[in-house]
Amino acid sequence: MPESIAEATLLYPSGTPRIDELTAEERAVYATLKPDLLPQHVAIIMDGNGRWAGHRSLKRFLGHQQGAKSVQLVTETASRIGLPWLTLYAFSLENNLRRPRAEVNFLMRLLKSYLEGNVQRMMDNNVRIRYIGRIHELPSEVQDKMRWAAETTARNTGTVLTLALNYGGRSEIVDAFRGLAAEMQATHMSPDRIAEKDIHRHLYTAHMPDPDLLIRTSGEMRISNYLLWQIAYTEIFVTERLWPDFRGIHLLEAIADFQRRERRYGGLGEACGEVEEDPEQMKIAVR
C-alpha cells in the first residue's frame, strides 16, 4: 500500500450510521425515514451524463467527469447512513462495444483517475471497493489500478461500493452457467438437481444480497441488461434527474419513496385482509 494512503482510523461495522456527518438538508430527509426499514442494497443505473453536457453545450466527456463526482458524493452519503451495499453501473459491455473508441478510452482514464483521487476518501469513510463484470477484458493498467484500490480498501468494514464494469446481466448469467456446468462435470451432478441457489452461487454477486432498491436516473424506463437475475423482486425508482445532478439527498429521497412501498414478493399485501373460501363466489365462469 502506498504510504500516502492512510489506514481508516476508525473501523466500525457495516450498518453503523454517522448521521452527524450528513448535511442539514440530508438530515431533514433522513429524519423522515424508518431506520429499521433501510434497504440493505441499493443499485443505481447512472444515466444522463451525455445529456447533462449537451444541455450546457459541453462535450460529452465533461458530463462523465461530473458524473464521477456524483459517484463519490452519493457513496459518502450511503456510508453515512450505514447502507451496507451500493452497486453502480459504471460501464456496460454494450458501452464497451458500441461507443466511439475515444469515449471508451476517456471512460477508462476517468476510472483510473477516479480511483487514484478517491481511495483516500474511501478510507476516511470506511468504504470498501469491489467490482463485478468481465474485468479481465479491461486494459491492464486499468485493472492494476482497480486491484490497488480493492486491496487498499479491503479491510474497511462499512459500505461496499461495487462498480459494475464491462458488465452485462446476460453475460453474467452465461458466465454463471459456464461455472456451474464445469462444476457439474467435475462432480457428476445430475441436471435435475440444479436449484436456484446453484445458479446464484455462480453469479458475480454471490457474496451479496439482492438489491432492495434500483434507482435509474434521467427518466428512461428500462433495465439495460443490469443485474437481471438479482432484481426479480427489487423496487424500481426512476427519476428525471440526470446523473451528474444526483446527490446524496436524492438517494435519501429515493429511499423515502421505497419505504412507502409494500413489498409482496408474489404474495398478498396486508391491505388484502383475511381471504375466505366461499365455494359459490369462487365458481369459475367460462363462456
Active-site residue list: 47, 95
Site string for ligand FPP, 114-153 (x = CB under 6 A): x---------------------------------------
Compute the least distance from the CB of residue 66 to ligand FPP, in Å: 8
Q: Which one of 122, 163, 227, 254 is in contact with ligand FPP (CB under 6 A)? A: 163
Residue 164 near residue 91, CB atoms below 8 Å: yes
Distance CA 45, CA 89 (A): 5
Distance CA 154, CA 160 (A): 10
Compute the least distance from the CB of residue 62 to ligand FPP, in Å: 11
Greatest distance between any 2 Cα atoms in the chain? 78
| Residues with Cβ within 8 Å of residue 287, at least 6 apart in sequence | none
Which of the stretches 88-96, 189-197, 205-213, 248-256 binds ligand FPP when contact is defined by CB under 6 A? Answer: 88-96
Q: How deeply is 207 buried, as exposed, middle or buried, from its count of CB atoms within 10 A (0-12, 13-18, 19+)?
A: exposed
Distance set, CA 44 to CA 70, 83, 112 (Å): 12, 13, 20
95 binds ligand FPP per the rule CB under 6 A: yes
Phi, psi of 240 (to 5 degrees): -70, -20
226 binds ligand FPP per the rule CB under 6 A: no
Residue 42 near residue 81, CB atoms below 8 Å: no
Residue 172 near residue 199, CB atoms below 8 Å: no
Compute the least distance from the CB of residue 141 to ligand FPP, in Å: 15
Whichever of 166 and 176 has its CB closer to ligand FPP, that residue is: 166
Residues binding ligand FPP: number (CB under 6 A): 18
How many CA atoms, within 13 angstroms, populate the side-chain half-sphere of residue 60?
11
64 binds ligand FPP per the rule CB under 6 A: yes
84 binds ligand FPP per the rule CB under 6 A: no
168 binds ligand FPP per the rule CB under 6 A: no
Beta carbons within 10 angstroms of residue 279's beta carbon: 6
Q: Which one of 29, 44, 111, 213 is in contact with ligand FPP (CB under 6 A)? A: 111
Cell 467527469, residue?
65
**Which residue's CB comes closest to ligand FPP?**
50
Q: Which one of 39, 48, 84, 211 is in contact with ligand FPP (CB under 6 A)? A: 48
83 binds ligand FPP per the rule CB under 6 A: no
Whichever of 87 and 126 has its CB closer to ligand FPP, that residue is: 87
Compute the least distance from the CB of residue 88 to ligand FPP, in Å: 6
Distance CA 211, CA 233 (A): 8
243 binds ligand FPP per the rule CB under 6 A: yes
Whichever of 38 and 163 has its CB closer to ligand FPP, that residue is: 163
- As given in the structure block, the three cell numbers for residue 138 are 479491461
DSSP 166: E
Site for ligand FPP, rule CB under 6 A:
46-51, 64, 67-68, 71, 90-91, 95, 110-111, 114, 163, 243
